[in-house]
Chains A and B, each alone.
Chain A
Amino acid sequence: MQIYDTEINSRLLVGTAQYPSPAVLVDAINSCRCEIVTVSLRRENADGSGTGFWDTLRQTGTRILPNTAGCHSVQEAVTTAQMARELFRTNWIKLEVIGHADNLQPDVFGLVEAARILCAQGFQVFPYTTDDLVVGEKLLEAGCEVLMPWGAPIGSGQGLRNPDALRGMRAHFPNVPLIVDAGIGRPSDACQAMELGMDAVLLNTAIAKAGDPAAMAQAMAQAVDAGRAGYLADPMERRNMAIPSTPILGMAELA
């Protein structure tokens, strides 16, 4: 899978928040062999814990995708992205412009505006968006080369609320990398996203809040691989009625 100018082998992207400890986070990353992890920026603490986290994460050898989580305005998101670029030394930015405090739904108007500004400044923008096709088109026009539609609200673990819309995105944007971001709760959700033809999934809480995060990370990776293989194998069409799989021809008369 190619995202911007980078070839990626793992189709599972993992967030780094909410783990019981840094050691558990590292175990989970190693367990699922993900190549990309998301990080954030927050106010520097007096104890320098941010630096410690950064040192731990760098040892994993993963590629960093900084986010603008929590930003509710274009100005906030753009400034945060610029700070992230300097801090993490990457042009990648997972762009979030949150529009609603309750469901953390993207403000798609602000998102497109921020994406346009950041793409013009040389960022490679990963926009956290809805499954709206028109918004997707606007983001591509702004310069984005990947789209990250939500599956369900962030951290909800509800799975894919609208699989038909994601299927529609796949059909409408056949050559654009699509990454389901947010809402995955279980391996079956990740598998379903991949069966629909998504190129990857990004999840955090489903692993971090599992009873055994490392085991769940591995299960998610397997689910992503299975779903991708299933998509490529071209699943059969659903039928409304039963059709016997065992041949009728040659049936004995035993009644």
Chain B
Amino acid sequence: MKITVNAQDHEVASTTLAAVLLELEITKPAIATALNSVFVPREERPATTLSEGDRIEILAPMQGG
């Protein structure tokens, strides 16, 4: 399945958001996720199924003003 993660194209085998994070080896706890511009809470990642062409954003703490 082709999806986009942080604007990068990926071909993944996983079908849930939680599984994709593992597949892409994104294991750091200090991240937050959104699917197609909608926030997905941490506890909902395992039950969030993905579809072809989905856009995932994975954000982390960063310096800001």
Interface residues of A (CB under 8 A from B): 15-19, 25, 38-45, 48, 50-51, 53-54, 57, 66-67, 69, 75-76, 79-80, 82-84, 86-88, 154-155, 204-205
Contacts and interface: CB of A to CB of B under 8 A. Distances in A.
3 tightest Cβ-Cβ pairs between the two chains A and B: A40-B64, A50-B60, A15-B65
Given A41-B61, A51-B61, 16 more contacts: A17-B63, A39-B62, A40-B63, A42-B62, A44-B26, A50-B28, A51-B60, A53-B63, A54-B30, A67-B65, A76-B37, A79-B38, A80-B59, A82-B39, A86-B41, A87-B31
B6 interface: yes
Contacts of B57: 43
A15 B63 CA distance: 8
Given A44-B31, A83-B32, A87-B31, A53 B41 contact: no
Contacts, number: 101
Chain A: interface secondary structure? mixed
Contacts of A25: 63
20 contacts: A15-B63, A15-B65, A16-B64, A18-B63, A38-B64, A39-B64, A43-B60, A44-B6, A44-B26, A50-B30, A50-B61, A51-B60, A75-B37, A79-B34, A83-B32, A86-B42, A87-B59, A154-B65, A204-B65, A205-B65
Interface residues of B, number: 24
B16 interface: no
A161 to B, nearest CB: 18
Contact of B39 (A17, A42, A79, A204): A79
Given A39-B64, A83-B59, A87-B59, A51 B28 contact: yes
A111 B61 CA distance: 23
A78 to B, nearest CB: 8
